[in-house]
Each structure stands twice: as structure tokens, then as C-alpha cells.
């Protein structure tokens, strides 16, 4: 079995045929975004080195940066221990977020937990 086939056979997709993919900046280690892939998008990502995702709202594949130019060159793809999440190490051109932020987590609301002192 080729390395690619073995990798694909270890990936576990959910009932909708999708797997969550975390894109992490190879240089800064920032978590840039989480998006979803179907098996074909994962295969294309591996075949082309360009992050390709599956839009749940539009029910179609999209190549990251195809319209915006803010592409994601994928340097490695890694499955977690139970094969149901993918971690991409990427070279991000421009902002990763459609809002213009570097990361999709840059502008989201954030809170600091309060430790239970009771």
C-alpha cells in the first residue's frame, strides 16, 4: 500500500463524510483556522500541496485562496491518535481569515476562566 493510501485508510470521517482540519502556521505556530474536508478534499490537498476544504453551507469543495489569493501551501498533514482530526502545517499567504485577520481566532470573543475558589 502506498504511503498516501495508508494515510487515507487511517482517516476517519464523520457521518457526513467529513473530518475537521486544523491549519497551523508553520512559522509562528499560530492556529489559523479550523475547516472541514471530505475524503476527496483531503486527497486533493495531498496531491496538490494546496489546502482544499469542503464547505458545509455550500456543500462544495473550495481551494483556500482560490478567489482571495490568500493560499495555504501545505507542508505536512498529520492525523491524531484516533484518526478523526487532521493537523496541517501551512505556509499562509496573507490573512487566513475572510475578515482580513491573520487568524480566524484573532478577533473572536475571548474569556479568561475564573477558577472556582469555593
Residues that bind its own copies (CB under 8 A): 3-4, 6-7, 10, 20, 22, 24, 29-31, 33-34, 45-49, 74-83, 85, 87, 97-99, 101, 104-105, 107-116
Which of 88, 11, 101 lies closest to 53 in space, CA to CA?
Answer: 88
Handedness of CA 27, 28, 30, 33 (dihedral sign): negative
Three-state DSSP state, 31: strand
Q: How far is the CB of 69 from its own copies (least distance, A)?
A: 18
Q: How far is the CB of 106 from its own copies (least distance, A)?
A: 8
- State which residue, 30 or 65, has the beta carbon closest to its own copies: 30
- State which residue, 54 or 74, has the beta carbon closest to its own copies: 74
Three-state DSSP state, 32: strand
- State which residue, 69 or 79, has the beta carbon closest to its own copies: 79
- Pairing label, strands 86-92, 18-25: parallel
- State which residue, 65 or 83, has the beta carbon closest to its own copies: 83
H/E segment holding residue 19:
strand 18-25
Amino acid at each position: 500500500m502506498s504511503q498516501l493510501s495508508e494515510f487515507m485508510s487511517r482517516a476517519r470521517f464523520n457521518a457526513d463524510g467529513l473530518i475537521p482540519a486544523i491549519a497551523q502556521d508553520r512559522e509562528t505556530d499560530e492556529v489559523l483556522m479550523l475547516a472541514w474536508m471530505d475524503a476527496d478534499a483531503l486527497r486533493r490537498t495531498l496531491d496538490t500541496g494546496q489546502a482544499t476544504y469542503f464547505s458545509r453551507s455550500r456543500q462544495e469543495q473550495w481551494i483556500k485562496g482560490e478567489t482571495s489569493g490568500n493560499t495555504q501551501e501545505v507542508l505536512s498533514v498529520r492525523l491524531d491518535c484516533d484518526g478523526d482530526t487532521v493537523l496541517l502545517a501551512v505556509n499562509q499567504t496573507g490573512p487566513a481569515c475572510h475578515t482580513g485577520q491573520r487568524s480566524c481566532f484573532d478577533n473572536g470573543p475571548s474569556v479568561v476562566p475564573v477558577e472556582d475558589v469555593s
